[in-house]
């Protein structure tokens, strides 16, 4: 019964979204505020209906209702509770339901928080958001329905794919989707502004909070996915340039560009056409990512069931929205006056440079991801475009961008003084240089690029933090602390986010210095990993709730002192008879000893892959700091949604007292 | 600087970045891509010695031999033809005889294939698409079997 209610709620949400796609838009075009006012109500109601639907599916999972086909295919009574819960989105149908839930969440968010939006833009934006929702609700209901019942309920389910049974998976997809789908509202704002035909600095102000929320969650989602791949897949890598990873990286690159170009639009009323275009492109890339991941044209852990019909459905949605928005853009682009020229050496010049490199990098990733599909479609030849291609194209595009960060954030608007800026980054540059030389000396030899990258990372990190100090100390040490607290949050946010980039660069550079050992060991054997010694103590069986496993006990010694015991394991999940690896890790500060075991064919030997990974944690700490910067920027009072603008209040204060 | 010079400078800078990026992309697409080949194609001489490519097919039943130092020998088949593979290292979790596999590596002068990476599937009813297509081409596709692709 509850499942049927969920199913019905979803159908109702589809009808409601069609209503919301038409009525507020009509209101916006006819300047009828009463009709527009129906939009926010519909958006909130839609969120409630889809939440109800999602809750119903969650309920079916929690009680293991195997009469529902989707639950039968992806759950098991022995599965721990948290994975019953996360199993809701660990499959194609459920993940698409989460997709529309988040879509509705952002629509309702705009409806609730953006009361001060101009009525026509609000109406048009909510209508566009509802069009997207209608398309995907139709997809869920007609092509990927999670509520279908089985004729006869089986006694036991088929279990969730075991490598998805991990706490990381409980949060990775929702985070990633919040980011991916979050750009839908930015897209809707852009389409709404184009429909209404009013594009000015206010647009940048309107999209700012939503853009930030989407960017923060996408950043965290990608970092989480990378960390999950690192500890769950047992390969020791953090990024594989897998097409599915690229699908999430592309909207991140253009979304980051959008974050920066919107600042220029807000402060200088320039880059208007480009900012609107970026908003459209970013969500288009999110849609493309959804298509690539969910259609099964790519083979990966993310492609659940391969169904050409579904692929075609999403492809049609993709074409309709990308085609529609670009047509709209082409019609209105002429009407948008372009901003004036500005000096190349200025804050806006630096932000344009940022956009240029990010956009071109996104293009390189796009080409590398789609080329194999295109080639196969045209010539039938199957190829793979792997890390060598992306390292050749993306890395050279990122390096100049990274170098520019410390200078760009110090340049003044309109006319910057590059020489002065270089002088002000002098200390950081000197420390970076010394660090580069020190690293080169300490490590002795190593890839020159990696050593340079460590220096570069340190330079970005120090220069970013130094700017905060510089501002706080302006006017002497006295009152520096008070000034520090009084600094605009957006300013501190920028510095922290950029420091995060530096930290990530250092972490990635250090992967060039990791130590690897791939060997076969028997109990009593030892292997040296950097400063540490890894010893196999024994191999023993173990039974978990829904798996059996072979556990290898290792001890880690630093000299003669035992510092840790590691228990990497090979698991066999009973439901699907599928083996997985559990990695053993020992963290030393920011570095890690990492062990993954393979087959234990004869019971006496164990094959293993062990690493010493210096400063590996920095790779994910960097993005976390970036996201924190975003959060801080979101919390800046001056720019919070709905906060009255200073310009509107000031004249009133100047009125003479009566 | 006049307005015209300024505009030229900006456009020139843009053009320079775009052109060099395109050059990088095209070079990459020429040199850094890896072709997928089935054993039949390999034996037909479609692969040059020393060229990196991906070999896909099924791991032949009874062909896996494990040797000391994590050396593994197995044969990849697409039905009528097989290619012998040597690989040193840890095999993926789902590497099994009779199941789909993709190995990336090179042929040496004697025609033996040395793999640098071996990829298997992500779950138990998933077959690398390339492998499925290669098998279909050779008429050895049995959709009813558990190692076929999942039902739509």
The DSSP code sequence of A23-56 is HHHHHHHHT-HHHHHHHHHHHHHHHHHHHHHHHH
CB A187 within 8 A of CB A325: yes
**Mean of the pLDDT values across residues A67-91?**
89
Which residues does chain A have within 8 Å of residue B47's beta carbon, measured at their own beta carbons?
A: none
pLDDT at A412 over 50: yes
B71 interface with A at CB cutoff 8 Å: no
User: Which percentage of chain A shows pLDDT scores above 90?
Assistant: 52
B122 interface with A at CB cutoff 8 Å: yes
B14 interface with A at CB cutoff 8 Å: yes
**Mean of the pLDDT values across residues A592-608?**
82
Rounded to 5°, angle at Cα A574 from A568 and A578:
65
pLDDT for residue A147: 95
pLDDT for residue A193: 93
Q: What CA–CA distances, in Å, run from A36 to A127, A204, B116?
A: 9, 22, 61
pLDDT at A261 over 50: yes
User: What is the DSSP secondary-structure string of B83-127?
Assistant: EEEEEESPPPTT--TTSEEEEEEEE-TTS-EEEEEEE--SSTT--
Which residues does chain A have within 8 Å of residue B126's beta carbon, measured at their own beta carbons?
A: 299
Nearest chain A CA: its distance from B140 CA (Å): 19
For B3, nearest residue in chain A (alpha carbons): A341
Total length of chain A: 658
CB contact under 8 A, A309 and B124: no
Identify each DSSP E strand in A72-129 by its residue range. Answer: none
How many C-beta atoms surround the C-beta of residue B10 within 10 A? 16
> Residues 266 to 325 of A: which have CB under 8 A from any B CB?
299-301, 305-309
pLDDT for residue B147: 37
CB contact under 8 A, B89 and A341: no
A-B C-beta contacts closer than 8 Å:
120
Which residues does chain B have within 8 Å of residue A604's beta carbon, measured at their own beta carbons?
A: none
pLDDT for residue A652: 41
Q: Which of B29, B92, B93, B116 to mutate to test the interface with A (most CBs of A within 10 A)?
A: B93
pLDDT at A475 over 90: no
The H or E element that residue B128 is part of is none
Please choose, from the candidates A497, A536, A506, the residue with its C-alpha nearest in 3D space to the C-alpha of residue A520. A536
CB contact under 8 A, B25 and A368: yes
Q: Which of B122, B131, B147 to mutate to test the interface with A (most CBs of A within 10 A)?
A: B122
pLDDT at B144 over 80: no
pLDDT for residue A209: 92
Which residues does chain B have within 8 Å of residue A594's beta carbon, measured at their own beta carbons?
A: none
pLDDT for residue A185: 96
The H or E element that residue A558 is part of is strand A547-558
Residue A342 per-residue DSSP state: -
CB contact under 8 A, A344 and B54: no
Which residues does chain B have within 8 Å of residue A357's beta carbon, measured at their own beta carbons?
A: 17
pLDDT for residue A337: 66
Name the residue with higher pLDDT: A364 or B2: A364
> Residues 336 to 365 of A: which have CB under 8 A from any B CB?
341, 343-344, 356-357, 360, 363-364
pLDDT at A296 over 70: no
CB A43 within 8 A of CB A110: yes
**Mean of the pLDDT values across residues A446-473?**
88
What is the C-alpha separation between A586 and A440, in angstroms, rounded? 26
pLDDT at A9 over 90: yes
B8 interface with A at CB cutoff 8 Å: no
Which residues does chain A have within 8 Å of residue B29's beta carbon, measured at their own beta carbons?
A: 367-368, 371, 385, 389
CA dihedral angle for residue A392, residue A393, residue A397, residue A398, rounded to 10 degrees: -70
Which of A309, A341, A596 is closest, CB to CB, to B6?
A341
Helix (H, G, I), strand (E, B) or coil at A149: strand
Which residues does chain A have within 8 Å of residue B152's beta carbon, measured at their own beta carbons?
A: 305-309
> Residues 107 to 136 of A: which have CB under 8 A from any B CB?
none
**Torsional sign, CA A618, A620, A623, A625:** negative
Indicate the average pLDDT of chain B. 78
A431 interface with B at CB cutoff 8 Å: no
pLDDT for residue A385: 87
pLDDT at A648 over 70: no
Phi, psi of A148 (to 5 degrees): -65, 140
**Mean of the pLDDT values across residues A450-475?**
88
pLDDT for residue A248: 93
Residue A411 per-residue DSSP state: S
The H or E element that residue A318 is part of is helix A308-333
Please choose, from the candidates A511, A513, A515, A464, the residue with its C-alpha nearest in 3D space to the C-alpha of residue A491. A464
Which residues, listed in sequence order, are joined to residue A569 by a DSSP beta bridge?
A551, A582
Q: Domain B35-137, what architecture?
A: Beta Barrel (2.40)
How many C-beta atoms surround the C-beta of residue A200 within 10 A? 14
CB contact under 8 A, A307 and B152: yes
Name the residue with higher pLDDT: A642 or A257: A257
**Mean of the pLDDT values across residues A165-171?**
81
Total length of chain B: 152
Model pLDDT for residues A561-570, shown as the tens digit of each residue: 999 999 999 8
What is the C-alpha separation between B33 and B42, in angstroms, rounded? 17
Query: Counting Cβ atoms within 10 Å, is residue B80 exposed (0-12), middle (13-18) or buried (19+)?
Result: exposed
Model pLDDT for residues B16-39, shown as the tens digit of each residue: 989 999 999 998 888 888 888 888
Model pLDDT for residues A114-163, shown as the tens digit of each residue: 778 899 999 999 999 999 999 999 999 998 899 999 988 888 888 777 77
Q: Which two tokens stand for residue A326?
A: 């670009």
CB A543 within 8 A of CB A552: no
**Mean of the pLDDT values across residues A241-248?**
88
For B95, nearest residue in chain A (alpha carbons): A579
Q: Which of B15, B17, B20, B21 to mutate to test the interface with A (most CBs of A within 10 A)?
A: B21
B98 interface with A at CB cutoff 8 Å: no
- B67-73: long-range pairs with CB below 8 Å, 24+: B68/A520, B69/A519, B69/A520, B70/A518, B70/A519, B70/A520, B70/A598, B70/A607
Phi, psi of A595 (to 5 degrees): -130, 130
Model pLDDT for residues A329-385, shown as the tens digit of each residue: 998 877 776 666 677 788 888 999 999 999 999 999 999 999 988 888 888 788 888
pLDDT for residue A655: 46
pLDDT for residue A306: 55
Please choose, from the candidates B103, B104, B102, B99, the residue with its C-alpha nearest in 3D space to the C-alpha of residue B149. B99
Most confidently modeled range among A28-42, A47-61, A192-206: A47-61
pLDDT category of residue A181 using cuts at 50, 70 and 90? very high
Phi, psi of B25 (to 5 degrees): -60, -45
Indicate the average pLDDT of chain A. 87
Phi, psi of A264 (to 5 degrees): -65, -40
CB A623 within 8 A of CB A238: no
Please choose, from the candidates A154, A172, A214, A160, the residue with its C-alpha nearest in 3D space to the C-alpha of residue A189. A214
pLDDT for residue A319: 93
Look at the block and give the residue holding tokens 């969920």: A6
Which residues does chain A have within 8 Å of residue B18's beta carbon, measured at their own beta carbons?
A: 360
pLDDT for residue A138: 96
Which of B13, B14, B150 is closest, CB to CB, to A305?
B150
Which of A360, A396, A578 is closest, CB to CB, to B124?
A578
Which residues does chain A have within 8 Å of residue B132's beta carbon, measured at their own beta carbons?
A: none
User: Which percentage of chain A shows pLDDT scores above 70?
Assistant: 93
């Amino acid at each position: 019964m509850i499942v049927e209610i969920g199913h019905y709620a979803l159908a109702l949400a589809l009808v409601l979204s069609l209503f919301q796609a038409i009525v507020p838009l009509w209101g916006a075009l006819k300047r009828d505020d009463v009709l527009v006012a129906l939009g926010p109500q519909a958006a909130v109601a839609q969120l409630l209906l889809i939440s109800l639907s999602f809750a119903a599916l969650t309920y079916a999972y929690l009680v293991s209702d195997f009469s529902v086909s989707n639950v039968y295919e992806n759950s098991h009574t022995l599965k721990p509770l948290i994975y019953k819960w996360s199993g809701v989105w660990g499959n194609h149908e459920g993940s698409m339901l989460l997709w529309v839930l988040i879509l509705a969440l952002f629509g309702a968010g705009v409806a609730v928080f953006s009361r001060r939006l101009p009525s026509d833009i609000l109406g048009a934006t909510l209508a566009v958001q509802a069009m997207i929702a209608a398309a995907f609700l139709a997809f869920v209901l007609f092509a990927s329905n999670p509520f279908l019942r089985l004729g006869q309920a089986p006694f036991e389910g088929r279990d969730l794919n075991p490598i998805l049974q991990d706490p990381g998976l409980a949060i990775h997809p929702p985070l990633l989707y919040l980011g991916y789908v979050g750009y839908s509202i930015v897209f809707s704002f852009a389409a709404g502004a184009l429909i209404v035909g009013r594009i000015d600095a206010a647009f940048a102000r309107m999209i700012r909070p939503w853009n930030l929320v989407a960017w923060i969650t996408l950043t965290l989602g990608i970092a989480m996915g990378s960390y999950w791949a690192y500890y769950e897949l047992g390969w020791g890598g953090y990024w594989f340039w897998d097409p599915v990873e690229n699908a999430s990286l592309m909207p991140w690159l253009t979304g980051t560009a959008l974050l920066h170009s919107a600042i220029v639009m807000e402060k200088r009323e320039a880059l208007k056409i480009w900012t609107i275009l970026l908003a459209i492109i970013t969500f288009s890339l999110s849609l493309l990512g959804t298509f690539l991941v969910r259609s099964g044209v790519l083979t990966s852990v993310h492609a659940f069931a391969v169904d050409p019909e579904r692929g075609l459905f999403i492809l049609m949605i993709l074409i309709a929205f990308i085609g529609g928005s670009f047509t709209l853009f082409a019609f209105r682009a002429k009407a948008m006056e372009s901003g004036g020229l500005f000096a190349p050496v200025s804050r806006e010049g630096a932000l344009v440079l940022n956009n240029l490199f990010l956009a071109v990098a996104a293009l390189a990733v796009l080409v590398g991801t789609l080329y194999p599909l295109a080639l196969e479609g045209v010539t039938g030849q199957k190829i793979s475009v792997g890390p060598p291609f992306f390292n050749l194209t993306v890395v050279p595009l990122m390096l100049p961008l990274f170098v520019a960060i410390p200078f760009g954030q110090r340049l003044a608007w309109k006319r910057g003084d590059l020489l002065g800026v270089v002088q002000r980054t002098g200390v950081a540059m000197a420390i970076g240089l010394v660090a580069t030389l020190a690293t080169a000396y300490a490590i002795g030899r190593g890839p020159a690029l990696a050593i340079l990258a460590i220096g570069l990372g340190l330079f970005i990190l120090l220069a970013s933090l130094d700017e905060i100090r510089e501002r706080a100390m302006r006017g002497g040490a006295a009152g520096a602390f008070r000034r520090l607290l009084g600094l605009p949050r957006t300013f501190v946010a920028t510095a922290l986010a950029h420091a995060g980039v530096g930290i990530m660069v250092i972490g990635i550079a250090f992967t060039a210095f990791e130590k690897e050992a791939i060997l076969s060991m028997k109990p009593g054997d030892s292997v040296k990993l950097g400063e540490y010694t890894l010893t196999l103590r024994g191999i023993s069986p173990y039974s978990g709730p829904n798996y059996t496993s072979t556990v290898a006990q290792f001890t880690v010694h630093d000299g003669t002192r035992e510092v840790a015991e590691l228990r990497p394991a090979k698991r066999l999940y009973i439901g699907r008879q599928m083996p997985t690896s559990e990695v053993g890790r020992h963290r030393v500060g920011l570095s890690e000893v990492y062990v993954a075991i393979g087959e234990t064919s004869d019971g006496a030997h164990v094959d293993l892959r062990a690493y010493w990974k210096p400063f590996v944690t920095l790779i994910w700490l960097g993005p976390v700091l970036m996201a924190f910067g975003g959060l801080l920027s979101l919390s800046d009072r001056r720019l919070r949604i709905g906060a009255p603008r200073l310009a509107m209040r000031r004249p009133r204060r100047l009125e003479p007292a009566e | 600087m006049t307005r015209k010079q300024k505009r030229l400078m900006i456009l020139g800078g843009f053009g320079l970045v775009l052109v060099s990026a395109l050059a990088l992309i095209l070079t990459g697409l020429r040199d850094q891509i890896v072709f997928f080949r089935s054993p039949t194609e390999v034996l037909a001489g479609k692969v040059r010695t020393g060229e990196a490519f991906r070999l896909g097919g099924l791991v032949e039943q009874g062909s896996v031999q494990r040797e000391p130092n994590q050396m593994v020998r197995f044969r990849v088949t697409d039905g009528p033809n097989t290619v012998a593979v040597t690989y040193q290292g840890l095999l993926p979790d789902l590497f099994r005889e009779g199941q789909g596999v993709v190995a990336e590596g090179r042929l040496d002068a004697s025609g033996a294939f040395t793999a640098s990476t071996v990829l298997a599937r992500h779950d138990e009813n998933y077959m690398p698409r390339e492998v499925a297509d290669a098998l279909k081409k050779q008429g050895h596709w049995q959709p009813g079997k558990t190692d076929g692709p999942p039902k739509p």
